[in-house]
Structure 1
């Protein structure tokens, strides 16, 4: 197989190749021309953060973001404070590895009104915002598909994410992460992407695909081209805003995690090339 050429703006999340350690990712990603990496916090467990930062630079990879913060809502003040402290830790981790952005999966509480959860999300972000600004780390609210509204995120549309940004006073350090898996169905999607571009809130763009049928609500995402999402059209809307950031491949899949991860990365490279090159 010929050596991989660099694929402009291709980023892969460490969770996408979950069976690989961070050290293995730093070896395998560049072989396929991947130039960006989003590091999930569990990949950092037991690691020296300064060493991870150095090794990533030496591998020629840009650290695009750290995933994930969030999960702010809770039924008790003590639990909400614990979440705030965990997000402050995430900010410290991001600063230590040189990640410019933290992706927020905002959280929800089963049985708690979504409006209350959104208020607690807004309050939680407000509580950690000064630390993020001091560290030079941006925060990106990621709307999640409504099927996760019970316990993973009360923020399910870009409109709701914009409303939280508005409530926070629209600081430049808080924006939105657009993941096609979660928002492709939204009839307001194009106008909300346009608004994110106009307000400077479009902080991240994630790609994968929606399989039909989906057999697991969390861990059955598809590789680009395996499903029904109009990925290139959505990507074109994002590009039209002037967004020049990475296109981040984020896939949760028991099916794909069970395969040879080197071969899976080859498929990611090829599907990305089919979309953009």
Structure 2
């Protein structure tokens, strides 16, 4: 399939609310994103705390914004069964919220090694159990789960799923035979380094499991591995090449900007950040 042009097609693009640093009320954030011409938004749960979801949904409809994803899960890995059950309940509530917002998927960041443990295999087994249990909730609400593998530097504390291959293996283990309610979110920041990335994107496409594509850039040097992501074009990731692979594999969803930048972009005026995102999406991605 030919690469979709993004020039004058911001309707194909989404802004993850983390990109604006969670500084504004969600109503103002949504207004700015819609005014900038983007077609979709990926809200974080923290931006929804204390909000009337029906009112937010009405604003989304009035502005023409789609919700391409709802971010993100509570970590599944826990020290004991009580913590594991609490995580499942919280994620069930989040899936219900995603449904109310008519989100196209719910992003799962699964958790790392529980505090005090050295058993990463056990953490991965716990994740598999949790995803298996949440799948029924996701199916009942019509909100697929998008497993998002994170860079290996986060294996200890954020995600014991480190590669797209691992995420797809887990999807096949729980849901063999192709997509029903489990898929993957491909985040360029986390996956760009993987020598098997393009092969695994093709595999995900064959199974129709690509539910999201996130873009930002890897800065050299990176001063903070969590909070110093780059604007597209400021780093070393071949973003257009990754998008070309995803679209060749059949992906036709939104291209979502997700940038954590405590010391730079989160200090800038939000409208300026959105203008820069719009320019870079069209020029770089």
1:25 to 29, 46, 51: 29
Instruction: Give me the whole-angstrom Cα distance separating, in 2, the residues matched to 1:105 and 1:190.
Output: 21
- CA offset digits 1:204-224 (Å, max 9, x no partner): 110000011100111000010
Q: Which protein, 1 or 2, shows the higher relative CO under an 8 Å CA cutoff with sep ≥ 6?
A: 2
Instruction: Give me the whole-angstrom Cα distance separating, in 2, the residues matched to 1:21 and 1:6.
Output: 27
Instruction: Give me the whole-angstrom Cα distance separating, in 2, the residues matched to 1:235 and 1:262.
Output: 25
Other-structure match for 1:248:
256
1:193 to 182, 188, 201: 201
Other-structure match for 1:260:
269
2:76 to 66, 72, 78: 72
Other-structure match for 1:151:
157
Gaps of 5+ in 1: none
| Larger strand share, 1 or 2 | 1
- Does residue 232 of the first structure (1) align with residue 240 of the second (2)? yes
2:136 to 130, 136, 146: 130
Other-structure match for 2:3:
none
Give TM-score, length-normalised by structure 2: 0.93
Gaps of 5+ in 2: 1-6
The CA RMSD measured in Å over matched residues stands at 1.4
Give TM-score, length-normalised by structure 1: 0.95
Change (3 A) 1:99 1:92: same
Return the offset for 1:169: 2.6
Moved more, 195-204 or 68-77: 68-77
Structure 1 stretches of 4+ moved >4 Å = none
2:166 to 153, 160, 167: 160
Instruction: Give me the whole-angstrom Cα distance separating, in 1, the residues matched to 2:216 and 2:69.
Output: 17
